[in-house]
Amino acid sequence: MTGEDLDEWLDSWVEEHYQSWDAPDQAAQACLSAAMKAGIAERDLNAATGGDLAAYLEEEAAAIAEASSEAPSDF
């Protein structure tokens, strides 16, 4: 999987799941689990997210929420 493929996978995953997140750490665990099932190594996922998956997901959820006015309550 190329870096671009991984970015697209992440974008899709975030868009599909951001409204169901309870907290960033739980979202990170769910994302990591889904990534591993998709054959994405944890180190590749960490590299794509700047080394902090929870912070990356929190930022992405905030950006989507800002654009759509649908922020999860704990984000």
Domain ranges, ordered by start, for the chain: 3-68
CA 27 to CA 13: how far, in whole Å? 10
Question: How would residue 2 be classed by pLDDT, with cut points 50, 70 and 90?
Answer: confident
Render pLDDT for 45-64 as a digit per residue (tens, 0 to 9): 999 999 999 999 999 888 88
Length of the chain: 75
| pTM for this entry | 0.82
CA 13 to CA 44: how far, in whole Å? 15
Quick count: other Cβ atoms within 10 Å of Cβ 19?
14
Name the DSSP class of 70: -
Strands (E), 1-75: none
Residue 47, both tokens: 């590299």
The answer to whether the beta carbons of residues 12 and 64 sit under 8 Å apart is: no
